[in-house]
Amino acid sequence: MAIPVLMPRQGQSVESCILGQWYKSVGEEVSEGDILFSYETDKASFEEEAKEDGILLATFFEEGDEVPVLVNVAVLGNKGESFDEFKPGVVPVKEKSEVKTQEKASKVIEFEVEDESPNKRIRISPLAKKMAEKMEINLQALKGSGPHGRIIARDIETATKKVVSIVQEKNLESGDDFEVKSIPNIRKLIANAMHQSLQNSAQLTHHMSADARKIMRLRKKFKQEFVEGTVSQNVTINDLVCFAVIRALKIFPQANTHYHGDKMKWFKKVHLGLAVDTERGLMVPTVLNSDDLSIAGLSSQLQQVANQSKSGNINPDLLNPAAATFTVSNLGNYGVEMFTPVINLPQTAILGVCTIIPRPKEIEEGVYGFVPMMGLSLTYNHQALDGGEATLFLAEIKTQIENLEV
């Protein structure tokens, strides 16, 4: 008996996956446990194994296609078995009859356009005619997909996409002084997420610097204790910054929120997201209930989710932007003095942590000296937060860093 192979759902938040590579070909014999194909979410990659023995009767998607979860991607069964009923988009017989009845009941308005050829008319719907005129599409070259060969809007859209695709491909042919390379699937997904974030929110960034002397002394103390073996966790400066941010979020709960248009989610707990640079691209895993952790516990959890992200075995649910209530992105190790982090929607804000550099500061009245200062860049959604409260929140982060006690 033929059985469908579905695109798995990796986490409740995942709606679609990119099909990576087929490891079996149509007609090939498959044993239970064989890897059928690989696939990717926007943050991790996986492999799907065969659940039963059989022949790979059909595949419905190609490598690189974006496939909705729980949709049939292939069929396993015995040689010669029919698999038509498992094709994506196939409407059950009962539903087909209902659709046909509705089509008969609806009235179709169409034009007949004179063709240059004698005694030949082109059947086209009003919307398609308007679209064709706007896009300057040659109707003579089109074959209508509507009833009785009528050209409909979908035909114009398809023709337009083909023209655009041809032009783009021509512009992307390798030349003498450049090479064209395909963008990895995960890069496409990250790019789309960044674009959506900037399109769907009013993002603004404020910058401030914090005196880093206290936090550097704490780091030196923890490092020495770790070397001596008196503590098991090597607490980093980033761990200490995250600890300070969590305290600031408890004072400014309006920044520990999700923005949903006419409503906002105010969270009672802090679920901290951490931007992690991996070989596959940027990932933002979440440490849930981070406000319940000690500095050693927070450091351990941050290190764990970062390592899991880099190795590719992180829980996909922890990579969902909706899992975190606030995100920290630290580029200090790269020497970045100032940058504009992009919010992980639906979160309300994100903190960018910059490098520590000496800056002049008044040490006491009338006495100035160079002090190590840490750059802080807060990007916030102006739809959810006013500039004043965002500035006060950033100032509170600065205060927590400068006066941190653990």
Higher pLDDT, 307 or 164: 307
Which among 100-109, 176-185, 342-351 has the top mean pLDDT?
342-351
| Mean pLDDT computed over 161-166 | 68
**pLDDT score for 351:** 98
**Residues 26, 7: Cα–Cα separation, whole Å:** 17
Strand partners for 286: 273
Q: Of 57-66, 230-239, 394-403, which gets the smallest average pLDDT? A: 57-66
Residue 132 contacts residue 139 (beta carbons within 8 Å) = yes
Nearest alpha-carbon partner for 86 in 196, 6, 195: 6
At what angle are helices 237-251 and 213-228 packed, to 10 degrees?
130
**Residues 162, 151: Cα–Cα separation, whole Å:** 16
**pLDDT score for 129:** 82
Q: How is residue 315 written in tokens?
A: 């829980």
State the average pLDDT for the chain: 86
First to last CA, the chain: 63
Catalogue all structural domains in the chain, each as residue range(s) with its CATH number.
Answer: 3-86 (2.40.50.100), 107-171 (4.10.320.10), 189-402 (3.30.559.10)
**pLDDT score for 242:** 98
**pLDDT score for 229:** 93
In which band, very low, low, confident or very high, does the pLDDT at 406 lie, cut at 50, 70 and 90?
confident
| Mean pLDDT computed over 275-295 | 93
CA-only gyration radius of the chain, Å: 29
pTM of this prediction exceeds 0.85: no
Q: Is the pLDDT score of 318 beyond 50? A: yes
Q: How is residue 27 written in tokens?
A: 């007609």
Q: Of 185-194, 349-358, 380-389, which gets the smallest average pLDDT? A: 185-194
| Residue 30: burial class (beta carbons within 10 Å; 0-12, 13-18, 19+) | buried
Q: Of 6-20, 87-101, 113-127, 309-323, which gets the smallest average pLDDT? A: 87-101
**pLDDT score for 105:** 37
Q: Of 190-204, 242-256, 335-349, which gets the smallest average pLDDT? A: 190-204
At what angle are helices 237-251 and 295-311 packed, to 10 degrees?
110
**pLDDT score for 99:** 41
Q: Is the pLDDT score of 69 beyond 60? A: yes
**pLDDT score for 172:** 60
Q: Is the pLDDT score of 9 beyond 70? A: yes
Strand partners for 204: 380
| CA–CA distances in Å: residue 70 to residues 15, 31, 39, 185 | 9, 22, 13, 20
Q: Identify the residue whose tokens are 């098991």.
A: 232
Q: Is the pLDDT score of 259 beyond 60? A: yes
Higher pLDDT, 147 or 259: 259
SS3 per residue for the chain: CCEEEECCCCCCCCCEEEEEEECCCCCCEECCCCEEEEEECCCCEEEEECCCCEEEEEECCCCCCEEECCCEEEEEECCCCCCHHHCCCCCCHHHHHHHHHHHHHCCCCCEEEECCCCCCEEEECHHHHHHHHHHCCCHHHCCCCCHHHCECHHHHHHHHHHHHHHHHHHHCCCCCCCCCCCCCHHHHHHHHHHHHHHHCCCEEEEEEEEECHHHHHHHHHHHHHHHHCCCCCCCCHHHHHHHHHHHHHHHCHHHCEEEECCEEEECCCCCEEECEEECCEEECCEECCHHHCCHHHHHHHHHHHHHHHHHCCCCHHHHCHHHCCEEEEECHHHCCCCCCCCCCCCECEEEEEEEEEEEEEEEECCEEEEEEEEEEEEEEECCCCCHHHHHHHHHHHHHHHHCCCC
Residues 293-312: pLDDT tens digits? 999 999 999 999 999 999 88
Higher pLDDT, 59 or 172: 59
**pLDDT score for 345:** 94
**pLDDT score for 42:** 66
Q: Is the pLDDT score of 22 beyond 90? A: yes
**pLDDT score for 90:** 55
| Mean pLDDT computed over 210-215 | 97
Dihedral angle computed from the Cα positions of residues 197, 199, 200 and 203, in that order, rounded to the nearest 10 degrees: 70
**pLDDT score for 17:** 84
In which band, very low, low, confident or very high, does the pLDDT at 168 lie, cut at 50, 70 and 90?
low
In which band, very low, low, confident or very high, does the pLDDT at 100 lie, cut at 50, 70 and 90?
very low
**pLDDT score for 102:** 41
| Mean pLDDT computed over 145-155 | 77
**pLDDT score for 16:** 83
